[in-house]
């Protein structure tokens, strides 16, 4: 039985992709005569439609490019959307490469045949991956493949790990219990099975496949002894880091002076995602900046006529990894607005600071109009092109508010800040500051370029409606 993340499945995938390319070539050659009746299709050339060397060369090209883009590394693409978007990119690169090969070798190959071949290859590669995901999802429900998890440590960290396991969408993960010293007040639905000295017996008795060490800092000295007790047993051992208030959602192992170390400040998006996000920002940010120049000129004139210069407001904001930068906006308040900040701040019923209000007396008449349609944020396209911000991301926060953040809220600085984001399209300024972070963390955990596009489309509607914008 093939396992999804096994080497055997990776090799099977390569073979299946190679077969998909061969099949597509054969089918394209078979279907090509049927296209001859179309006006835009050239007559069939004499001889073989596809030279024999291409049947060996094209599968190799596809497999090499798929491998270079880690298509066969299943753990990199746990979500279907991520895998299919990467597959689309790999397919584009392979198609361009194949077209280049034809240009320098077999120019007589029918272009219509080549297009049919590309379409069929993409379709077959996509369909078999969808079927594979359906198969593995059904396979995960098989009792024989269940992963039975034992957590060592029943404190706050252990219970947090246990709660995550029980909420997991993977039906194959089964939490069998905890290992720790007896708790007289233990009331969890998952049993406390015994102490660390009994772990070998517990592993055998409950057929445990995975052990998670979730010990508090004070018990880290016991970790070596616990691991030694299990070293000859066929179980996987995991360590749950107790740095939840410091670590970001993604970490990486880096070589530091020849020593492998865990980078707790690694970016929450990988290098490929960062490259795609930056390319997306530069391309569309530049277009948006160019198109908005007439509006920006008009807004600047309106501000100057009502309240003089400066027309731009340079706001110090906290960006990725806590880096300070100057965010550009059109000035929508009176010139001494910062000195009047304390007059408009208030706290909600839970004591959380609210720093914006609909009836803010500092906002000018022009400023209120600009805010209504978010025109005051147009200069931020300059920040995007410069690299200080992204089109989509967590909202850049004011430094003095960041000083009041709880540790968990600082995780929102794991990615570049954005002009718009998940919380803006979900509620915008209607939500108080302390609730923004949960939406930002949702965005970070679920990031993809398609999510960025979805947010940008929703932003257009939110801006037109003007909900929560003040």
pLDDT in tens, 378-400: 999 999 999 899 999 988 888 88
pLDDT of residue 246: 47
Average the pLDDT over 245-254 and give the result.
53
Residue with the larger pLDDT of the pair 63 and 253: 63
The string of pLDDT tens digits covering residues 59-99 is 999 999 998 888 888 777 777 888 888 899 999 999 999 99
**139, 160, 188 - which closes a domain:** 139
At residue 89, the pLDDT reads 92
pLDDT interval class at 157 (50, 70, 90): confident
**Cα 305 off chain centre by:** 44
Same-domain status, 155 and 116:
no
Of 14-23, 345-354, 449-458, where does mean pLDDT reach its minimum?
Answer: 345-354
171-180, 230-239, 432-441 — which is least confidently predicted? Answer: 432-441
Looking at the fold, whether 367 and 441 belong to one and the same domain comes out as yes
Residues 449 and 353 in one domain: yes
Residues 338, 461 share a domain: yes
pLDDT at 322: 80
Task: Let me know if residue 2 belongs to a domain.
Answer: no
Q: Cβ distance 306 to 403 under 8 Å?
A: no
Q: Check whether residue 321 and residue 448 sit in a common domain.
A: yes
Last residue of a domain, one of 190, 222, 242: 242
**234-260 burial by CB neighbour count: b if 16+ within 10 A, else e?**
ebeeeebebeeeebbeebeeeeeeeee
Q: How does pLDDT run across 296-337, given as a tens digit for each residue?
A: 999 999 999 888 888 898 989 988 878 899 999 998 888 776
**Is residue 18 assigned to a domain?**
yes
Is residue 170 assigned to a domain? Answer: yes
Residue 42 in tokens:
């050239």
Tokens of 378: 């147009």
Q: What is the pLDDT of residues 171-209, one digit of tens each?
A: 678 888 898 887 666 767 788 888 888 888 998 888 888
To the nearest whole number, what is the mean pLDDT of the chain? Answer: 80
Q: What's the per-residue H, E or C state across the chain?
A: CCCCCCHHHHHHHHHHHHHHHHHHHHHHHHHHHHHCCCCCCCCCCCCCCCCHHHHHHHHHHHHHHHHHCCCCCHHHCCCHHHHHHHHHHHHHHHHHHHHHHHHHCCCCCCHHHHHHHHHHHHHHHHHHHHHHHHHHHHHCCCHHHCEEEEEECCCHHHHHHHHHHHHCCCCCEEEEEEECCCCCCCCCCCCEEECHHHHHHHHHHCCCCEEEECCCHHHHHHHHHHHHHHCCCCCEEEECCCCCCCCCCCCEEEEECCEEEEECCCCCCCHHHHHHHHHHHHHHHHHHHHHHHHHHHHHHHHHHHHHCCCCEEEEEEECHHHCEEEEEEECCECCCHHHHHHHHCEECCCCCEECCCCCCCCECHHHHHHHHCCHHHCCHHHHHHHCCCEEECCCCECHHHHCCCCHHHHHHHHCCCEEECHHHHHCHHHCCHHHHHHHHHHHHHCCCHHHHHHHHHHHHHHHHHCCCCC
Highest-confidence range of 36-50, 136-150, 253-267, 409-423, by mean pLDDT? 409-423
User: pLDDT tens, 6-61?
Assistant: 778 888 999 999 999 999 999 988 887 766 666 656 666 555 578 888 999 999 99
Same domain as 422, residue 309: yes
In a domain, 315, yes or no: yes
Predicted confidence band of residue 459 (pLDDT cuts 50, 70, 90): confident
pLDDT given for residue 125 in this prediction: 95
Whether 266 maps to a domain, the answer reads no
- Lowest-confidence region among 148-162, 315-329, 414-428: 414-428
> What CATH number should be reported for the domain holding residue 170?
3.40.50.720
Give the pTM.
0.50
User: Quick one: 332 and 369 in the same domain?
Assistant: yes
Predicted local distance difference test score (pLDDT) of residue 357? 61
User: Is residue 391 in a domain?
Assistant: yes
* Domain shared by 135 and 150, yes or no: no
Instruction: Let me know whether 118 and 24 are in one domain.
Output: yes
Q: Range of 331's domain?
A: 271-465
Of 75, 106, 139, at which residue does a domain stop? 139
Q: Output the pLDDT for position 434.
A: 47
Residues 386 and 438 in one domain: yes
Domain for residue 151, yes or no? yes
Is 254 inside a domain boundary?
A: no
- Whether residues 314 and 451 fall in one domain: yes
Structure confidence at residue 294 (pLDDT): 93
Domain count, the chain: 3
Residues 203 and 278 in one domain: no
pLDDT of residue 141: 62
* Position 243 pLDDT exceeds 60: no
Q: How many residues does the chain have?
A: 470
């Amino acid at each position: 039985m093939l396992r999804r993340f096994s080497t055997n499945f990776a090799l099977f995938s390569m073979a299946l992709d190679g077969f998909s390319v061969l099949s597509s070539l054969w089918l394209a050659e078979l279907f090509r005569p049927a296209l001859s009746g179309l006006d835009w299709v050239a007559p069939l050339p004499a001889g073989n439609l596809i030279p024999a060397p291409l049947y060996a060369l094209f599968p190799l090209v596809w497999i090499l490019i798929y491998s270079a883009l880690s298509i066969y590394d299943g753990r990199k693409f746990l979500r279907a959307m991520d895998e299919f978007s990467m597959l689309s990119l790999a397919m584009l690169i392979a198609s361009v490469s194949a077209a280049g090969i034809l240009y320098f070798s077999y120019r007589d190959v029918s272009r219509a045949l080549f297009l049919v071949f590309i379409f069929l290859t993409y379709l077959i590669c996509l369909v078999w991956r969808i079927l594979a995901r359906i198969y593995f999802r059904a396979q995960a429900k098989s009792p024989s493949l269940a992963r039975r998890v034992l957590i060592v440590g029943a404190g706050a960290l252990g219970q947090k790990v246990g709660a995550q396991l029980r909420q997991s969408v993977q039906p194959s993960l089964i939490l069998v219990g905890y290992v720790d010293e007896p708790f007289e007040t233990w009331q969890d639905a998952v049993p406390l099975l015994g102490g660390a000295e009994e772990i070998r017996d517990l592993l055998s008795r409950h057929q445990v496949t995975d052990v998670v060490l979730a010990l508090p800092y004070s018990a880290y000295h016991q970790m070596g002894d616990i691991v030694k007790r299990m070293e000859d047993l066929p179980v996987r051992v995991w360590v749950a880091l107790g740095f939840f208030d410091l670590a970001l959602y993604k970490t990486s192992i880096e070589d530091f002076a020849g020593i492998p170390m865990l980078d707790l400040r690694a970016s929450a998006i990988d290098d490929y995602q960062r490259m795609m996000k930056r390319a997306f920002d530069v391309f569309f940010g530049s277009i948006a900046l160019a198109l908005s120049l007439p509006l920006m000129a008009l807004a600047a004139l309106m501000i100057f006529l009502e309240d003089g210069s400066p027309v731009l407001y340079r706001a110090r904001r906290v960006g990725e990894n806590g880096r300070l930068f100057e965010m550009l906006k059109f000035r929508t308040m009176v010139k001494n607005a910062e000195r009047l900040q304390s007059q408009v701040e208030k706290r909600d019923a839970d004591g959380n600071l609210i720093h914006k209000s609909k009836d803010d007396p500092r906002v000018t008449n022009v400023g209120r109009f600009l805010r209504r349609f978010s025109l005051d944020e147009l200069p931020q396209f300059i920040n995007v092109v410069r690299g200080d911000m992204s089109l989509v991301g967590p909202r850049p926060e004011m430094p003095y508010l960041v000083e009041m953040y709880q540790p968990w809220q600082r995780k929102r600085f794991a990615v570049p800040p954005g002009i718009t984001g998940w919380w803006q399209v979900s509620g915008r300024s209607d939500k108080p500051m302390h609730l923004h972070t949960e939406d930002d963390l949702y965005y970070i955990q679920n990031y993809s370029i398609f999510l960025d596009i979805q947010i940008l489309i929703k932003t257009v509607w939110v801006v037109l409606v003007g909900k929560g914008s003040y």
